[in-house]
Amino acid sequence: MIPFTAPRCALLRASVIALAAGAFAAPAAAEIELSFYGGWQTSPHSRVKGDYGSGVNAGGSFDELIGWDGKSFDMPPYYGIRATWWRSEAWGFGIEFSHDKAYAPDDEMAEAGFERLEFTDGHNIITANVSRRWIEGWGAATPYVSAGLGIAMPHVDVQPEGGEHTYGYQVTGPAARLTAGVNYPLTDRWSVFTEYQFTWSDNSADLDGGGSLDTTLYTNALNVGVGFKF
């Protein structure tokens, strides 16, 4: 997979915002909404498979079920940024970045033959979205749904027992996102919202010293945030 350094990741995050605010420049009849959120994110069980490239098990393979921890409020915290270009009152298009997280519990990590096994800075999901809203569908509140397709770019933090430490950003595979929420206006421009969000990603990471790790990661999140439209 393609490695990324930390500065490149920071540049990509800035580019996400710039792309949404600049390349999505809309005619006067349209509307751009920026959304910033945090919340509680979990990651259910998934199976990790692959080959040890180094360490005490070098040359061997692994196939273990891991019950990931999200640890939403540990540093660095879980968060997300979204930009939506509303082409009409009902339909919009946009781009979204979420900084999800997945830690393997210590006992399951050891059972799988690893000293470190996590995607925590973070398990970054970047998608292009299609959104539908119903303005003031619930009194003053506006319910909405969205779906997106994109890529996973996690910070891979993996070390086989006694082996080399893989520590860096990689583009590991395709990703998808589903969101359903409700937005409540505070002023003509500012609003608050709450939502449920699900993500899926199919990940294939390269390990330093040889070897590979494959896993499908899912997340469930309850988000709260603030929106600004112009």
Among the listed residues 202, 199, 229, the one whose alpha carbon sits nearest the alpha carbon of residue 213: 202
Q: How far apart are CA 171 and CA 203, in angstroms?
A: 8
**Under 8 Å between Cβ of 120 and 145:** no
Q: How far apart are CA 190 and CA 185, in angstroms?
A: 6
Q: Model confidence over 49-61: pLDDT tens digits?
A: 999 999 999 999 9
Q: Model confidence over 165-203: pLDDT tens digits?
A: 999 999 999 999 999 999 999 999 999 999 999 999 999
Confidence tier at 106 by pLDDT (50, 70, 90): very high
For residue 42, give both structure tokens: 């979990």
| pTM of the predicted model over 0.95 | no
β-bridge mates for residue 61, sequence order: 51
| pLDDT > 90: percent of the chain | 85
Which range is least confidently modeled, 13-22, 43-52, 108-117, 208-217? 13-22
Q: How far apart are CA 163 and CA 104, in angstroms?
A: 17
